[in-house]
Amino acid sequence: MAKKFIIGNWKMNLNVHESSLFAAKLAQEVPTYRDVTTAICPSFLALQPLSLQVNHRQMKLGAQNCYWRDSGAFTGEISATQLRGLAQYVLIGHSERRNIFSEGDREIRFKVQAALRNCLTPVLCVGETALERKDGDTEHVLNDQVVSGLLNVSSEEISEVLIAYEPVWAIGTGETAGPEDIEKAMKIIRAQVSHLFGREASKKVSLLYGGSVKLDNAASILSAKGVDGLLIGGASLIAPEFAGMVKIAGELAKEEAKNEVKE
């Protein structure tokens, strides 16, 4: 039975105090399910206090980025080594990092390796822009980003990686990819993982969808074939929305487990 993942990306929102208050609100509202991993990705600043505050059985913590060297003269950066013990997950190659901060494939690949080296689960974000979609380049872009991001990941390590399909045109825009587009993208990503690491690995790798997910559309997206979870931006800052999505994932996981027993 595959686990489901609900990960909230708080982006550059909430100061340390506000983060703590919001996490306390989530603690009251977010249900716990055996087969759902819930994680929140606050700012770097809030990670340390939240690591002491949250119940880790209820919610894990993730960072929104990391640097790929472990230490050294890299002013202003935060390494995966420094995140160790504070976070369990780290977003890598989010489209805002790729597009606003010009992160390239090489850097993203090094960050994936840095996360794994430091016992963090990398959430490798991939997705096409509106223009690439319009030009019919989605498959090509996804294959390129997956191959490049996973270069140097070993077949033992691939089970520790999460991949989030986040079409750039859907992030923060209110536009969501339809279930058919999502299923197609998941199929492309899984086929590429199979090509690189074999069929077994591709069946086990967890794939998330992100891009304007809200309580209203979460159930249909989570039910799309090949989707193992959600990466949620804006709606993760609304406690009842986020908690509601965890509940949807939990109920779906229970349903799937029941069906597995029957089969």
Q: Which residues lie near ligand PEP (CB under 6 A)? A: 9, 11, 94, 166, 171-172, 210-213, 231-235
- Minimum Å gap between C-beta 62 and ligand PEP is 11
Q: Which of 96, 128, 166, 241 is catalytic?
A: 166
- Minimum Å gap between C-beta 72 and ligand PEP is 29
- Minimum Å gap between C-beta 38 and ligand PEP is 15
Q: Is 76 helix (H, G, I), strand (E, B) or coil?
A: coil
Nearer Cβ to ligand PEP (43/81): 43
Examine the residue annotation and report whether 166 is marked as an active-site residue of this protein. Answer: yes
Nearer Cβ to ligand PEP (36/231): 231
Q: Rounded to whole angstroms, how far apart are CA atoms 233 and 8?
A: 6
- Minimum Å gap between C-beta 177 and ligand PEP is 11
Asked whether 129 and 168 are in contact (CB, 8 A), the reply is yes
Q: Rounded to whole angstroms, how far apart are CA atoms 43 and 10?
A: 7
- Distances, alpha carbon 130 to alpha carbons 108, 135, 234, 251, 260, in Å: 21, 9, 20, 33, 38
Asked whether 51 and 85 are in contact (CB, 8 A), the reply is yes
Nearer Cβ to ligand PEP (88/202): 88
154, two tokens: 């070993």
Examine the residue annotation and report whether 94 is marked as an active-site residue of this protein. Answer: yes
- Distances, alpha carbon 188 to alpha carbons 9, 93, 138, 151, 238, in Å: 24, 18, 9, 17, 32
| Paired strand residues for 208 | 164, 229
Nearer Cβ to ligand PEP (211/250): 211
Q: Which of 56, 94, 103, 128 is catalytic?
A: 94
Instruction: Say how many residues make up the chain.
Output: 263
Quote the crossing angle between the two packed helices 105-117 and 138-150, to the nearest 10°: 40
Q: Rounded to whole angstroms, how far apart are CA atoms 164 and 111?
A: 15
- Minimum Å gap between C-beta 231 and ligand PEP is 5
Nearer Cβ to ligand PEP (122/233): 233
Catalytic residues: 94, 166
